[in-house]
Structure 1
Amino acid sequence: MAGSDSKEQTAAGQKRLLGTFGGVFTPSILTILGIILFRRLGYVVGGAGLLSALLMLGLATLISVNTSVSLSAIATNRKVRGGGDYYLISRSLGVEYGGALGVLLYLAQAVSVAFYCVGFGEGVAALTGGGALVVQGAAATAAVCLFGLAYAGADLATRFQYVIMAILVAALTSFFVGAYGAFDPVQLQANLFADPDVEVEFWPLFAIFFPAVTGFTQGVSMSGDLRDASRSLPTGTFLAVGLSAVVYGAAIVMFAAARPLADLAGDYEAMSGIATVGWLIGAGVLS
């Protein structure tokens, strides 16, 4: 028994290769800074106005921080093994609740992957001018590639995510440089409050925006591949939530200072129009 336990501990030690940055922060920030940032944030600002959009960000961040505090309390009070959200829930609420919620988490993850693959396919079709066959082919190819990455293990997936991060940084840099050039203080002041002609109710817009900040739980899914999960999970999660709040806040201000609200509300491609290199925004969406 002692020899078996020793082998299990050695295997676990060999598996947990990831630190805070690669295992928690990077997957979390890549999930948070996603399609809503590139395709829906301008619409939210256009419908709500600058101040209401910042209020939405504040409420969403408050919820994220509250959840992160709970996650951190659990992660630092026990030894965290593989299983991510399911492990933490089952060890906190019991096997019965953990099993039921684990099935839901599994189904949610499976459906999410399918949606992401279809979204990737639609992005490819939009860039290439293709039709339904292009969408289906690109989505199927993406699913196969994701399966290959998952099968190969977390180490290869972690290396690949740095490529995605580089694309994301390039896309955001292109947007902020273009927005800085188009920054108009008069326009910013005019966009403080919603335009009565395009105003959308607060809560429907909040419902559109809120999924943008839920990706911070992605790092929890890597709990079985971390060198020190009890330390990495709280640190990486809070860093991801904090940085994403800064990025979203800056983007909201830049949108409001660069375009009239009516233009933002009627154009999902507003970020591409503001960016210095428009196709980088498309690359960011695909990433």
Structure 2
Amino acid sequence: MKDKNHSGKSDPPQKTEHSGGRLGTFAGVFTPSILTILGIILFLRLGYVTGSSGVARAFIIIAIANVVTVLTSMSLAAIATNLKVKGGGDYYLISRTLGMEFGGAIGIVLYLAQSVSVAFYCIGFAEALSAIMGPTFFLSPRLIALLAVSAIFALAWIGADWATRFQYLVMLLLGAALFSFFAGGLPRCSADIFLANWSQPTGGPPFWVIFGIFFPAVTGFTQGVSMSGDLADPGKSLPTGTFMAVGLSIIIYFAVVAVFASVLPNRTLMEDYQAIKLVSRYDFLIDAGVIAATLSSAMASFLGGPRILQSLAADRIFPFLPPLPKELERGTTPAGLFCSQES
């Protein structure tokens, strides 16, 4: 299963990375990556980060966090363009560069983390929906979470193509929520408020505590890598889609912090996790954005986890994990659960 080019030359992506997948750069890499990056932290914690650290420190936090993601994206691009990429996402790339031992140790943790995160995100979706609907809503949060997991499972079972269509709807909701935020905030921006919020307020938490709160927001770019087995041209799509998602998210995070700091005082941002609603023009679009953020993250994990597990099984790293079925032709087995693997 090891992919080595004994001649020392890189394989042309257009010839060696053809795995039968049909997803392109936008649908297969950019969409899941940007939807996971622009997640719940953007809507419910970025205001707190801005108010607790001040504008100057908030910009530094975003810059440091994205230096990590940019460097990682550069490493990803170097690997993806010099390797015959198959299904398995992060695990496949790690195991083919650092060896099976490192790959197996990291891959099993990645699979377990993505599996558990599906429940985590669906519970977050259920809590958000229950809060929006009020205490009189006839469904309990647990039942809502169960229905959400079932719906995402159905989409994943049908195939990655249908899951991608669902992610387009989620992207539309996220775009509408951001539009509502900027439409309500930009006309109210004040240079005096911005300058007053420049420094950290007295009694604010330490720098690295705030950094730890924000940093998970920028790690979502790896979700696009998980779709490597469904891409028509992984060598081209992985670096391009990842850089597009990371670059756009950097612009959005800096812009949101600037608007927050120009509209609301630090104290309000620190104390009100729903401060984004105070800035936005249409509150219901923010609620839709929160729901969309949780569902998109759950969908990305639901699609990525099984692909990692199948690649682990195909490499026979763990004796207790037998090889899982391969998809011989698209549509013969549920594409949402198993990705194509070449022998």
TM-score range, shorter chain: over 0.9
- 1:214 deviates by 0.3
8 A Cα contact 1:25 1:240, kept in partner: yes
- Deviation digits for residues 40-86 of structure 1 (CA, Å, limit 9, x no counterpart): 00000010000100000000010000110111111010110111111
User: Among residues 68, 84, 88, which one is paired with 2:73 in the alignment?
Assistant: 68
2:63 aligned partner: 58
1:285 aligned partner: 290
State the alpha-carbon separation in 2 of the partners of residues 241 and 258 from structure 1.
Answer: 26
State the alpha-carbon separation in 2 of the partners of residues 119 and 260 from structure 1.
Answer: 28
- TM-score by length of structure 2 reads 0.78
User: Among residues 223, 238, 256, which one is paired with 1:218 in the alignment?
Assistant: 223
State the alpha-carbon separation in 1 of the partners of residues 79 and 153 from structure 2.
Answer: 30
- Which residue type is aligned with residue 183 of structure 1? C
- Which residue type is aligned with residue 109 of structure 2? L
Identity %, equivalent residues: 55
1:4 aligned partner: none
State the alpha-carbon separation in 2 of the partners of residues 51 and 158 from structure 1.
Answer: 38
1:162 aligned partner: 168
State the alpha-carbon separation in 2 of the partners of residues 172 and 158 from structure 1.
Answer: 21
State the alpha-carbon separation in 1 of the partners of residues 210 and 45 from structure 2.
Answer: 10
SS at match of 2:198: coil
Structure 1 position 205 matched with structure 2 position 199: no
- Deviation digits for residues 98-142 of structure 1 (CA, Å, limit 9, x no counterpart): 122111011000111111000000011110113896210111111
Instruction: Give runs of aligned pairs for residues 31-42 of structure 1, distance below 5 A.
Output: 31-42=36-47
RMSD over aligned CA atoms reads 1.4
- 1:32 deviates by 0.2
| Count of residues in correspondence between the two structures | 275
2:264 aligned partner: 259
- Deviation digits for residues 204-240 of structure 1 (CA, Å, limit 9, x no counterpart): 0000000000000010011001010001000000110
Unaligned 5+ segments in structure 1 are 1-11
User: Among residues 156, 176, 185, which one is paired with 1:150 in the alignment?
Assistant: 156
- Which residue type is aligned with residue 147 of structure 1? F
- 1:195 deviates by 1.3
Structure 1 position 178 matched with structure 2 position 197: no
Instruction: Give runs of aligned pairs for residues 114-133 of structure 1, distance below 5 A.
Output: 114-130=119-135
State the alpha-carbon separation in 2 of the partners of residues 207 and 154 from structure 1.
Answer: 33
User: Among residues 237, 243, 258, which one is paired with 2:242 in the alignment?
Assistant: 237
- 1:14 deviates by 7.8
8 A Cα contact 1:177 1:275, kept in partner: yes
- TM-score by length of structure 1 reads 0.93
- 1:182 deviates by 1.6
1:138 aligned partner: 144
Structure 1 position 192 matched with structure 2 position 191: no
State the alpha-carbon separation in 2 of the partners of residues 253 and 25 from structure 1.
Answer: 25
Structure 1 position 101 matched with structure 2 position 139: no
8 A Cα contact 2:52 2:266, kept in partner: yes
- Which residue type is aligned with residue 222 of structure 1? M
State the alpha-carbon separation in 1 of the partners of residues 37 and 144 from structure 2.
Answer: 23
1:250 aligned partner: 255
Structure with more of its chain in helix, by fraction: 1
State the alpha-carbon separation in 2 of the partners of residues 132 and 228 from structure 1.
Answer: 47
- Which residue type is aligned with residue 33 of structure 1? L
State the alpha-carbon separation in 1 of the partners of residues 96 and 231 from structure 2.
Answer: 18
- 1:15 deviates by 4.1
SS at match of 1:49: helix
8 A Cα contact 1:124 1:134, kept in partner: no
Instruction: Give runs of aligned pairs for residues 2-81 of structure 1, distance below 5 A.
Output: 15-81=20-86
- Which residue type is aligned with residue 156 of structure 1? W
Unaligned 5+ segments in structure 2 are 1-16, 293-343
SS at match of 2:96: helix
State the alpha-carbon separation in 2 of the partners of residues 113 and 239 from structure 1.
Answer: 25
Structure 1 position 82 matched with structure 2 position 84: no
